[in-house]
Amino acid sequence: MSTTEADILFKDVKKGEIILEMRGITKIYPGGVVANDHIDFDLRAGEIHALLGENGAGKTTLMNILYGLLRPDEGEIYIRGRKVEFKSPLDAIRMGIGMVHQHRKLIPAHTVLENIVLGHPKVGKILNLHEIEREVKELCEKYGFKLDLHAKVWQLSAGEKQMVEIVKALYRGARILILDEPTSELTPVETEKFLESIKVMAEKGLGIVPFVTHKLPIVLSVADRITILRRGKVVARMSREEATMVNLAKRMVGREVLFRTVRVKTKIGEPILEVRDLHALNDRGVPAVRGISFVIREGEIFGIAGVTGNGQQELAEVLIGLRKPIKGKIIFRGRDITNASILERWKLGMGYIPPEREFGAIKDFTLVENIAMNYYFDEKFVKSKFLLDYDKLRELAMKAISEFNIMAPGVDTKAGHLSGGNLQKLILARVMMRRPKLLIANLPTHGLDVGATEFVRNKLMEYKKEGAAVLLISEDLDEVLSLSDRVAPIYEGRFVSILPIEMVKKEEIGAMMAGAISEGVAE
């Protein structure tokens, strides 16, 4: 590779040497929001320095400043003691800083190699891929990445795509790698692999800054040092040895957080939902649900644990009516609803929390209008046959705000002004206040920070206490295990087993999710 500015800047770096210093970084957004308040941050060569904080703590702002996307109002950045100023990410890249975003920015129809060279200064008018391929291969070998350079990006898994982004940053000469929520889209197996590879990268002298809002155990397992932000300020700096789950969470949230939601035993009542030999196809017409049968009763949480793409999304969609089954029966409170419409299912007492907030709320609508989504068909909220009773809906919205602790200036605010966590709470409130007999909670804590996650979990538990049945779908094994009364690991469209929580061993469930154990204990 030819010599670049970064090569000169980072010449003869020794491991453990401070390569980056940010001093007194302050950023105030128009409107007076102080996103960063005199933040100091430093990074050594060969270390993984995690940046931790809840949504809105200022991590993203700080890293965007480091990557040249934002300019600080105050403060300085030094790389190997030399003061630098970035006008755009291009400047930052030139100085050896690379960033991998949470949402992949790759072109699916192009090959891995084409994506890696895209935008590289070395690529002139004519593409000479041979030399580049050799260099990229060398790079992959150095860090132990296994990538098929000629595969199309759409064929890759989430983990492989992330690797492509990392290689892309490295090929552009990154010595400091910023990783935005690096594990949020990875499966447990991929996460494991990813953690291995960043350890290797650090070993070879790179400085790595992952920033994380949740999944604290992951941080604990690899980070050498941890800096915690809260409300734009550094509240703690510690080494891995000093950190424990509890004190990290406490510092992040600013209060004690119970990680173990206390599971309460309730009386198990009548069967609410009975599913018999259900089969369904996914969007591509491939069988995704392949013969699933189970029963959920009043007062229990039934957890489905599985790696994304094993049919749990399709199963949830079939249950609420978004997808038609090709075979099988669904019986809800003694009625065959296999062919019922979505609206009929809501009316009969089903509730569904969608996996993405974008599926559940409209940002242009006020909170009242968003709440109305599950009540427009409810006689209690319709007057003179055709009119929505907005007075009653307003009351309901106010109740939702206070009961679910939603931070909003008022019920007539547009939902777009709410933060992600509050929006999720709004959806949850809307569905749960219907008191459905069966609640299908599809990734209910996806993307929530620690405080909000705890809140949602406790709500589910409370709800079960009232005698409702809950079907919990989650990618977070700890979540499933801490809430469920019975757990069904799903693999390739089938339940590997259905286990009462007392009989569950975490390792065993993990193996079942990965398809390593084909049949466990029968129900």
Which residue in the set 362, 407, 503, 521 belongs to the binding site for another protein (CB under 8 A)?
Answer: 362
Cβ proximity of 293 and 279 under 8 Å? no
Contact between 361 and another protein by CB under 8 A: the answer reads yes
CA dihedral 86, 92, 96, 98 (to 10 degrees): 150
Contact between 391 and another protein by CB under 8 A: the answer reads no
Instruction: In whole angstroms, give the CA distance from residue 270 to residue 171.
Output: 60
Q: Which stretch binds another protein (CB under 8 A): 202-210, 342-350, 396-404, 468-476?
A: 342-350
Q: How many residues interact with another protein (rule CB under 8 A)?
A: 35
Contact between 348 and another protein by CB under 8 A: the answer reads no
Contact between 128 and another protein by CB under 8 A: the answer reads no
Tell which phi-psi region holds residue 81, choosing left (phi > 0), alpha (psi between -120 and 50) or beta.
Answer: left
Instruction: In whole angstroms, give the CA distance from residue 178 to residue 134.
Output: 25
Residue 330: CA count within 13 A, CB half-sphere = 23
Residue 119: CB minimum distance to another protein, A:
22
Contact between 398 and another protein by CB under 8 A: the answer reads no
Q: Which stretch binds another protein (CB under 8 A): 124-132, 159-167, 254-262, 409-417?
A: 409-417
A 10 A CB-CB count for 154 gives 11
Residue 376: CB minimum distance to another protein, A:
5
The CA distances from residue 513 to 149, 280, 292, in Å, are: 29, 20, 15
**DSSP states of 295-336 as a string?**
EEETT-EEEEE--TTSSHHHHHHHHHTSS--SEEEEEETTEE
Which residue in the set 277, 358, 466, 523 belongs to the binding site for another protein (CB under 8 A)?
Answer: 358
Residue 47: CB minimum distance to another protein, A:
31
Which C-beta is closer to another protein: that of 382 or that of 517? 382
Contact between 343 and another protein by CB under 8 A: the answer reads yes
End-to-end alpha-carbon separation of the chain, Å?
60
Element containing residue 35 per DSSP (H, E): strand 34-44
Q: Which stretch binds another protein (CB under 8 A): 41-49, 139-147, 383-391, 458-466?
A: 383-391
Contact between 154 and another protein by CB under 8 A: the answer reads no
Chain residues 74-113 in contact with another protein, contact rule CB under 8 A: 85, 87
Residue 90: CB minimum distance to another protein, A:
14
Chain residues 414-443 in contact with another protein, contact rule CB under 8 A: 414, 416-417
- List, in order, residues 6 or more apart from 497 with CB less than 8 Å away: 488, 489, 512, 519, 520, 521, 522, 523
Residue 364: CB minimum distance to another protein, A:
6
Contact between 320 and another protein by CB under 8 A: the answer reads yes
Site for another protein, rule CB under 8 A: 85, 87, 320-322, 341-346, 352, 354, 358-365, 369, 372-374, 376-377, 382, 386-388, 390, 414, 416-417
